[in-house]
A and B are shown apart, each in its own frame.
Chain A
Amino acid sequence: MMSKRSLKKAISKTMSLVIGLIIVIAVVAGVLIYLTSQPPLTTTTPTTTTKPTIEKVKIGIIEPLTGRYAVFGQEAVDAARLLVDIINNELGGVSSLGGAKLELYVEDAGTSPDSAALAAERLISNYRPHVILGAYISRLTAAVAEVTEREKIPLVMDALVDWLTEKGWNYVFRLAPRASTHGKAAVDFVLEMAKKTNMTIRTVVVLHEDSIFGTTVANGVRSQLIAKGVIPNETITYAYTITDFGPIISKIRDLNPDVIFSVPYFSDGILFAKALQASGIKVKFIAGAGGCGYTDPDSIREAGEAVEYFTNTYSYNPARQTEWNKRIVQAFQQKYGKLPTEAAGIIFYSLMFVYEGLEKAGQMFPEDPLNPDNLRAAFLSLDLNDSNSIAAQLYPTGRVKLASNGENLHGGTAILQVIGGQPKVVWPEAEEGVTPVFPRP
């Protein structure tokens, strides 16, 4: 390489870099000046003195529609569509807002916080919904929540991990019972049943898949066990992608537990149930926790007899005998040909809650009902029970009242058991004609 040419090359290359850098710095400086001299970018609903006519309330829903959680996300969206239909047509829209109808906007959260954040940004910049629901998985929801907090859009979460309401966010709300509540419920149920049937529990094994969800629920199980004086003997964790339970089954055989508390994801639950059945080990009871696996129709279909008498905790009670619950379950079954499970159920009461919150906001703040702070105030002011609210009727414990961090003070689960190949509610109140089977025969 000739030195003159390479020197010239070097100079012009450095030159272009320097020029480029200067331009970038100038641009950045200019932008910063521009930004600090402008009014805030986010727009809030302008306050007017006359009552605004609102024709529709925009509801956004962000759920994972691709990837391994797609099955849950899809169900949640199905449920949302049904509810919006019912609210608009049967209930006549939001009466305090002049009969305003709900309009649903669906966005796919994808599989990573990246795509969830993009989904939230896109939904907001395209449609600017007044309320958003989502996003089932904790890290996706966290990514969405940051955006909604910035833009001050109320987010009603259907993700269960505890810390989502502990981050000091102002505009998040969650009716669904949190993960640790699920764990506690499973323990309460088992201990209650043990007392009723005079069964002594000596050895307990906690089995859970190792995601943050599985771990939180399992921690709930363990702390409740210890609080009630039962020390779990062993905790076994596994990756949800596990392909062979053989070694775990061997360990279980060795430990010979009376009760196993299990927090599966979905497929691992099926695999475990079948492996356990094949092993012939007699475990007196297997209680699931966390709302996934064992007692949903898909699991029952895939595992067959292996999951008979298994239980699981649910954020939703499809067999709750309130008028509206029966109606919506039936409507769902008619429209989609299957029973609603966890994902759908959470959306049922969450969306219905939003509707009732909107009604309240219209009453409390007739001039500016859709202002985020007003919506928040309205949401927090609601104290719902079976007699004054549809949302409460859809909720397992029948009571909804949110604390200031957005968490439902009356969070609770229902427990379902697979009896005769069908999921039946056995706790806190058993379905008609159903008695929980404990221990397993």
Chain B
Amino acid sequence: MLPSLNLLLQSILDGIFLGFLYSIMALGLSLVFGVMGIINFAHGDFIMLGSYLVWILANSLRSDPSLMSVITVPLFFVIGAAIYTIIIRPVLGKEPLIQIAVTVGVGYVLQNLALMTFRAEPRAVQISYLNFYVDLGLVSVHAAKLVSAFLSFLIVLGVHYLLTKTWVGLAIRATAYDREVASLMGINVGKIFLLVFGLGIALTGLAASLWMTFGQADPYIGSSFGLLTWVIIALGGLGGVSGLLASSIIVGIIQSLTMTLVSPTVSLAIPYVVFIVVLWFRPQGLFGKG
């Protein structure tokens, strides 16, 4: 069945929007990994946690989910800082397997906490101001997705600005580059780690509220987001924001195209195949100490 041009364009557009949202999810992870070398396996599950939180807040305050980010972002920053202090910092010096294992444990705890509290049925918010399509002739644009994509883009730019044009950003980059030297230069590495981890988690809070404008929350979305963000990072490397954006959009488009042209089932697997292939052929040096 040959796809019509409409369908193709529509699919690509959908993928682009989705990609922008993914970039926010990947950004937090990328920051943490790049600066601290910590692999947060539970990153996706924080998005899941955020989604449930947004669901509760949006429904009880009878408001649009994206506005909930006002609450979730600072809250998640605090949560991130707490997780860092209690769980991450103690394992910083230990072997990578243990570091990963600990975050796997956190993810497990979050998933099952959600399962116990909310049961397994997905939850969707009841009010979403932007849940409509705008017809542009060739394609239709889902307003909520468009706005999410736009906001995501702005935030990514904002973080980029933070990293490149501010003192804090400079400190962060210095620490990422070589933490010993940074420490010698008077940068409080511990504080930087705290800040970065908190920021990483805060971004998941933001991603969650944007996601809930058109998506649903269930205990297992964390795993799919988690793996997806890792695929994005593998593709785009830890270099810069532009690489991240590019790979997020590519992943979004790939997913969308396969879902439309082949089948939704396959679209789950394709990003991972891409992931493995990319891993094979990317020069090892890109991943630093791994």
Contacts and interface: CB of A to CB of B under 8 A. Distances in A.
A238 B123 CA distance: 19
A195 interface: no
A250 B11 contact: yes
B260 interface: yes
Nearest to A68: B120
B260 A304 contact: no
Interface in B235-290: 256-257, 259-260, 263-265, 267-268
Interface stretch (B1-9, B82-90, B96-104, B165-173): B1-9
Interface in A213-245: 234, 236-239, 241-244
Contact of A280 (B121, B133, B224): B133
Find the residue from A247, A278, A304 having the highest chain B CB count within 10 A: A247
Q: Top 10 nearest A-B pairs by Cβ distance?
A: A267-B122, A68-B120, A238-B264, A247-B259, A247-B260, A250-B10, A246-B14, A254-B7, A278-B131, A279-B133
Contacts of B264: 236-239, 242, 247-248
Interface string B125-150: 01000011101000010100100000
B108 to A, nearest CB: 15
A52 interface: no
B220 interface: yes
A279 B134 CA distance: 8
Interface string A237-277: 11101111011101101100000000000110011001101
B18 interface: yes
Contacts of A250: 7, 10-11, 14, 260
Interface stretch (B30-38, B174-182, B211-219): B211-219
Interface of A: 67-71, 210, 234, 236-239, 241-244, 246-248, 250-251, 253-254, 266-267, 270-271, 274-275, 277-280, 298, 302-304
A274 B132 CA distance: 10
A282 to B, nearest CB: 13
Contacts of B216: 243, 267, 270-271
Contacts of B122: 266-267, 270-271
A247 B14 contact: yes
B121 A246 contact: no
Nearest to B132: A278
Contact of A266 (B14, B18, B121, B133): B121
Contacts of B131: 274, 277-278
B208 interface: no
B62 interface: no
Contacts of B7: 250-251, 253-254
A247 B256 contact: yes
Contacts of A267: 121-122, 216, 218
Contact of A270 (B124, B145, B224): B124
B21 to A, nearest CB: 10
Interface of B: 1, 3-4, 6-7, 10-11, 14, 18, 119-124, 126, 131-133, 135, 140, 142, 145, 214-216, 218, 220-221, 224, 256-257, 259-260, 263-265, 267-268
Contacts of B224: 241, 243
19 contacts: A71-B121, A210-B265, A236-B263, A239-B268, A241-B220, A241-B221, A243-B215, A243-B216, A244-B214, A246-B145, A247-B260, A247-B264, A250-B10, A250-B11, A253-B10, A271-B124, A274-B131, A279-B142, A302-B123
Given A239-B268, A278-B132, A280-B132, A246 B124 contact: no
Contact of B142 (A241, A266, A278, A304): A278
A126 B133 CA distance: 58
A275 to B, nearest CB: 8
A237 B266 CA distance: 10
